[in-house]
Amino acid sequence: MLEYIAGFRPSAQPLMTRPTYERELWTAMAMPIAVSMVEGGVVGILAKKAFDVSPIVFAAIQAAPMFANVTSLGWAMLARGRPKVPFITGMMVVVLLCVAGIALLPTGGVLGSWLLALLVIASRCLLAGVVTLRSVVWRNNYPRHVRAQITGRLSLVVSLVVAVAPVVGYGFLDRGPENFRILYPVAALLAVVGVVSFSRVRLRQEASLLAYENRSDVEPVPKGETGAVYEYEALPRDTFWSVLRKDGAFRTYMFWQFIAGMSMMSGETVVVYVIAEQTAGWSYEYLLSVLLSTSVPMLVAVALMPTWARYLDRVHIAKFRTRQGWFWALAQGLNLMGALLGSLSLIGLARAVIGMVRAGGMLAWNLGHNDFADRRLVSIYMGIHVTLTGVRGAIAPFLGILLYAGWSERDLGGGVVLPGFEGLGSWFFAVSLGLAVLAWAGFARMAREAESVAGS
């Protein structure tokens, strides 16, 4: 164990990666304190219990980190030709302002609910840009053969902070829900340390990168010759479609990722809502809710992330997603049984399995596109991945909560009436389970095809 912990020291990393790693390590320890306060499983509990938001507003808050990703290509375009680290640092600063601003919101009425959703969405949009542009730093500064392990260590630290910080903070809310007005500004203040540290990161080959980005004759060449720098195409829509048109393997990967994401995003939205409902009136309800919604999955992810990182360094992303997808399907089956039986114990077990899924997912989500992308196109590939994540994120949470809770009959005007729907209730998780199994089968087929090509 001591040897494993020692592996997190900057001196234990390859020589050329140490300066970046040390600065990112400080960022990984501090910035997530604030970010954890706007995680869906955390702020969703605050929204349901303290702000008493409607199901639709709840879905919007849960969807924020997902549909915010549609801004990814926009951030890539804005950062084109500009130094990346200062750009990322500026976005981090605005994120902290959004987090601190939650403390000023009224808790009664519709206004406070929608302002809360607005600040959460704004912060998640900015974080989507951070993720997209950070992939450039990781690709340039960390070699492929150690990239997953190094970023895995950073992600592990982030996960640990995200797991622990809400427990400490939301335990404070059990003394009085209005204490969130103290909690959120303090979290933002502590995160400043991480922003300052990241501002000192030096992006390798940045001069070449900026010169390349400012060229007007750039063309996307998926799986083309390896270059030293990355590309942001001047016409993002053309680049988006041309990459998907030319790279069939990546297109197939994105399709099955879309199916898996619909299951995951809708399922996570509904299960957090169920947890908030079932813990209402309990002693330490804030603490228990955050433990189930966020901390248990994250702590399991922390324990298993090194194993997933070593596995990802050895296999193609399709095979990796196949293994991960099996656990996601298992979690949805447990959610179904737990919801039908009203058992928080079964839901808690499902949350532990979700932690196993997240351990690999945090790595695969950030690095999986590298198994398809030309070196110069990594940001475009990541942008496509993130943008499609945003598209399903704009749909899945709302679809999930509507299928679960239903809706009343509505007169749409012109003699058109939308019939009411009572909702599937707990049986919603059967739908999520079906999508999970379908995605698993798709990734399994893709993995077999990849192995067949590699062996020929």
Beta carbons within 8 Å of 186's beta carbon, 6+ residues apart: none
pLDDT in tens, 389-447: 878 888 999 999 999 988 887 766 677 777 888 889 999 999 999 999 999 999 999 88
Q: Are the C-beta atoms of 396 and 266 separated by less than 8 Å?
A: yes
C-alpha to C-alpha distance for 197 and 2, rounded to whole angstroms: 26
User: Residue 378 — very low, low, confident or very high, per pLDDT cuts 50/70/90?
Assistant: low
- Beta-bridge partners for 369: none
| Architecture of the domain spanning 18-201+223-406+422-455 | Up-down Bundle (1.20)
Residue 154, pLDDT above cutoff 90 = no
- CA angle in degrees (0–180, nearest 5) for 363-366-371: 90
- CA angle in degrees (0–180, nearest 5) for 260-392-303: 50
Residue 232, pLDDT above cutoff 50 = no
C-alpha to C-alpha distance for 324 and 440, rounded to whole angstroms: 8
Interval 290-303 mean pLDDT: 89
φ/ψ of residue 409, rounded to 5: -65, 140
Q: Which of 68-72, 122-126, 131-135, 312-316 has the highest mean pLDDT?
A: 122-126
User: Residue 229 — very low, low, confident or very high, per pLDDT cuts 50/70/90?
Assistant: very low
Extents of the domains making up the chain: 18-201+223-406+422-455
394 by DSSP, 3-state: which?
A: coil
Nearest to 393 by CA among 74, 40, 38: 40
Residue 374, pLDDT above cutoff 80 = no
Nearest to 42 by CA among 180, 157, 152, 155: 180
Residue 224, pLDDT above cutoff 60 = no
C-alpha to C-alpha distance for 38 and 166, rounded to whole angstroms: 10
Instruction: Provide the 8-state DSSP code for 406.
Output: -
Nearest to 317 by CA among 365, 355, 359: 365
φ/ψ of residue 347, rounded to 5: -65, -40
Pair of tokens at residue 97: 């302002």
> Which carries the bigger pLDDT value, residue 423 or residue 374?
423
Q: Exposure pattern of 59-80 as b/e (b: 16+ CB <10 Å)? A: bbbbbbbbbbbbbbbbbbbebb
Mean pLDDT rounded to a whole number for the chain: 84
Instruction: Provide the 8-state DSSP code for 197.
Output: H
Which pLDDT score, from 0 to 100, does residue 46 have?
Answer: 93
Beta carbons within 8 Å of 215's beta carbon, 6+ residues apart: none
Which pLDDT score, from 0 to 100, does residue 26 have?
Answer: 93
Percent of the chain residues topping a pLDDT of 70: 89
Number of H helices, E strands in the chain: 19, 2
